[in-house]
C-alpha cells in the first residue's frame, strides 16, 4: 500500500490475496468464510489499520447486529448463579448467529426504557433481550409501541402466563401479550418434584413458596397443588409463603414441620430449600423419633450440588438458543416486513420443560 494513503477494501483484499467479496464476507457474514481465510483477512485488516466498515455497513444495512441486555443488580440470593450460565449461553448463541450482546444497567423499568432510547439513538442497537417480566410490564409495551424487535426470557404474566391465553374475545392476539418469549415451565418442574415425593411414599407434602403475586412463584406453587389434587391429597395441602432467603426458608420450614405428619417439603428455590435443610437437620437431632424430612429445591444451583440437594434444573442453554432464534427471526424478517413483530403467535412463544435432579435430600428412607 502506498505511503500515506488510507487502506481500502481493495488494499485489504490484495494484502490477504483474496477477492473483495471475501473481505466483505469476513466483515458481514464471517460464519460463511473458512477459518484460515478469515484469520488471514483479519490479520490484513489489523496490519493495514483498515477500519471504515462499521460505518459503511451500518449505513447500508441500517443494522448494528447488536442486542441490548440489562444486567440486573447482583442479588444476594443463591439462584443468581443461573444468570452467569444464561449470559454465557446467550453471548455464545448470539455470536453464532452473527450478533453481539451489549450490557447496560438501569434502576427500574422506567430507567430501562430511557436506556432503550439512548441505546437506539447512540449505538443503533437492533433489539433487546428482557428478563424479569411481570404483569403490566411497561417495557414490553414501549418496545411494541416503538416497533423495536425484542424477546423476553419469561412470559408476560398478565393473563397467568398460559401460552395461547393471550387471544382476546374476537380471536385476535393482543399486541403486547403476544410478543415473542421463551420461558421455563416452572409448573412442570414442581409437578415432577411433587410426584417424585409421592412416588417415594410421602403423603403430606408441604410447599414453601414466595409471597403471593409473583408470576413465577405462583406458577411453581400451581404445579405442586395440581399434583396433590390429582393424587386426591389436596385436602392436606400446606403452604408457607416467605421471602427468598436461607434464614426465612428455615423459619418457614420450622412452622410447617410442627405438624408431625409433614414428611416432605417442595421448595420454590434452592435458597429456601437450604434453609429448610438446616431446619430439618436440627429437628432430626432433637427428635430422633420423627420421620426424616425429604426436601427438593428449584434452580439446581452449585449450592444444591454442593449439599446434595434434589433440585429442578433449568435448561438455561436451551432458553438462550431459542431466545436468539426468535430475535434473529425478527431481524431477518424486517427488511421485507417492517411490521414483522405482529405476525403469527404460536411458535414465537416457547415453554421449555425443566427436569428434576434427584439427590440425597429426597432419597432418605421413609
Contact residues toward a second copy (CB under 8 A) are: 26-27, 30, 39, 42-43, 45-46, 50-51, 53-55, 57-59, 62, 64, 66, 71-74, 76-78, 80-81, 83-85, 87-88, 91-92, 95, 100-105, 114, 117-124, 146, 246, 271, 274, 302-303, 305-306
Helices (H), 200-315: 215-230, 246-256, 270-286, 302-307
What the block records as the C-alpha cell of 69 is: 441486555
Q: Which one, 26 or 197, has the nearer CB to a second copy? A: 26
Minimum CB–partner distance for residue 354 and a second copy (Å): 17
Minimum CB–partner distance for residue 105 and a second copy (Å): 5
Minimum CB–partner distance for residue 158 and a second copy (Å): 25
Q: How far is CA 329 from the centre of its chain?
A: 18
Minimum CB–partner distance for residue 310 and a second copy (Å): 16
Q: Which one, 25 or 263, has the nearer CB to a second copy? A: 25
Pairing state of beta strands 349-352 and 294-298? Answer: unpaired
Q: Which one, 101 or 333, has the nearer CB to a second copy? A: 101
Residue among 298, 291, 289 nearest 79 (CA)? 298
Q: Which residues pair with 127 in a beta bridge?
A: 67
Residue among 86, 139, 152, 136 nearest 111 (CA)? 139
Query: What angle do the packed helices 20-28 and 53-61 form, to 10 degrees?
Result: 80
Minimum CB–partner distance for residue 30 and a second copy (Å): 6
Q: Which one, 41 or 197, has the nearer CB to a second copy? A: 41
Pairing state of beta strands 355-357 and 310-313? Answer: antiparallel
Q: Count how many Cα atoms sit within 13 Å of the Cα of residue 202 in the half-sphere of its side chain.
A: 30
What the block records as the C-alpha cell of 296 is: 427438593
Minimum CB–partner distance for residue 308 and a second copy (Å): 9
Cβ–Cβ under 8 Å, residues 176 and 159: no
Q: Which one, 19 or 168, has the nearer CB to a second copy? A: 19
Minimum CB–partner distance for residue 360 and a second copy (Å): 12
Q: Which one, 91 or 140, has the nearer CB to a second copy? A: 91
Residue among 130, 132, 126 nearest 149 (CA)? 126
Q: Which one, 250 or 293, has the nearer CB to a second copy? A: 250
Amino acid at each position: 500500500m502506498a505511503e500515506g494513503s488510507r487502506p481500502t477494501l481493495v488494499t485489504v483484499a490484495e494484502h490477504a490475496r483474496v477477492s473483495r467479496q471475501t473481505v466483505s464476507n469476513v466483515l458481514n457474514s464471517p460464519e460463511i468464510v473458512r477459518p484460515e481465510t478469515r484469520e488471514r483477512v483479519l490479520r490484513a485488516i489489523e496490519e493495514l489499520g483498515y477500519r471504515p466498515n462499521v460505518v459503511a455497513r451500518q449505513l447500508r444495512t441500517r443494522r448494528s447486529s447488536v442486542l441490548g441486555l440489562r444486567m440486573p443488580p447482583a442479588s444476594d440470593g443463591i439462584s443468581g448463579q443461573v444468570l452467569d450460565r444464561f449470559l454465557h449461553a446467550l453471548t455464545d448463541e448470539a455470536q453464532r448467529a452473527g450478533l453481539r450482546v451489549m450490557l447496560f444497567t438501569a434502576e427500574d423499568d422506567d430507567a430501562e426504557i430511557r436506556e432503550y432510547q439512548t441505546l437506539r439513538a447512540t449505538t443503533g442497537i437492533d433489539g433487546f433481550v428482557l428478563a424479569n417480566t411481570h404483569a403490566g410490564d411497561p417495557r414490553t409495551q414501549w418496545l411494541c409501541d416503538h416497533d423495536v424487535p425484542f424477546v423476553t426470557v419469561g412470559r408476560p404474566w398478565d393473563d397467568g402466563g398460559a401460552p395461547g391465553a393471550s387471544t382476546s374475545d374476537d380471536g385476535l392476539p393482543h399486541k403486547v401479550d403476544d410478543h415473542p418469549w421463551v420461558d421455563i415451565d416452572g409448573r412442570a418442574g414442581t409437578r415432577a418434584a411433587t410426584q417424585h415425593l409421592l412416588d417415594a411414599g410421602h403423603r403430606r407434602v408441604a410447599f414453601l413458596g414466595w409471597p403471593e403475586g409473583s408470576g413465577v412463584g405462583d406458577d411453581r406453587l400451581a404445579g405442586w397443588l395440581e399434583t396433590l389434587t390429582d393424587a386426591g391429597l389436596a385436602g392436606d395441602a400446606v403452604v408457607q409463603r416467605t421471602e427468598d432467603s436461607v434464614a426465612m426458608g428455615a423459619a418457614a420450614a420450622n412452622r410447617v414441620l410442627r405438624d408431625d405428619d409433614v414428611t416432605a417439603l417442595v421448595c420454590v428455590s434452592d435458597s429456601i430449600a437450604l434453609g429448610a435443610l438446616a431446619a430439618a437437620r436440627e429437628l432430626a437431632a432433637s427428635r430422633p423419633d420423627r420421620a426424616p424430612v425429604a426436601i427438593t429445591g428449584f434452580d439446581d444451583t452449585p449450592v444444591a450440588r454442593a449439599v446434595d440437594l434434589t433440585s429442578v434444573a433449568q435448561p438455561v442453554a436451551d432458553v438462550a438458543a431459542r431466545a436468539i432464534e426468535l430475535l434473529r427471526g425478527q431481524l431477518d424478517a424486517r427488511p421485507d416486513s417492517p411490521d414483522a413483530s405482529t405476525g403469527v403467535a404460536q411458535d414465537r412463544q416457547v415453554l421449555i420443560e425443566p427436569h428434576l435432579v434427584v439427590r440425597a435430600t429426597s432419597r432418605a428412607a421413609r
